[in-house]
Amino acid sequence: MRRGEVWWADLPQPSGRRPVLLLSRDAAYERRTSITVAPITRTVRRIPVEVPLDQGDGMAVPCIVNTDDLVTIPKILVQERITILSQDRMSEIARAIVFALDLESDLKE
């Protein structure tokens, strides 16, 4: 496991089995029992917290990473690797997280 990988995860209901993007720092996967992820969904709202993914990213269908719903889950819920995202796509994810958490103002101070 490492940051930037997309895995199938068995999340609690109502989410259920769905792909998630791993966001924790790489060292955390060896030491921690919980990791931070962003859910991936086919529900597109076209807002700045979403980053689109498609077959070029290794996904079977067009979908989005939703950075408005970051969650920390037990690592044991993560089951099967789907793909790993490019550095360019991860840069888009980082910008979406900055927007979602309103960190831009914190970076200016």
Please give the Cα distance from 39 to 77 (Å, whole number): 13
Q: What is the mean pLDDT of the chain?
A: 94
Percent of the chain with pLDDT over 90: 87
Any bridge partners for residue 78, and if so which?
A: 9
Give the domain range for residue 93.
5-108
Tens-digit pLDDT profile for residues 12-64: 888 889 999 999 999 999 999 999 999 999 999 999 999 999 999 999 999 99
Tell me the pTM. Answer: 0.92
- Sequence-separated contacts (24+) of 10-13 with Cβ below 8 Å: 10/77, 10/79, 11/39, 11/71, 11/73, 11/77
pLDDT at 12: 84
Q: Which CATH number belongs to the domain containing residue 40 in this structure?
A: 2.30.30.110
Amino acid found at 26: D
DSSP 12: P
Does pLDDT of 109 surpass 90? no
Number of domains in the chain: 1
- Beta strand 17-22 with 5-10 is antiparallel
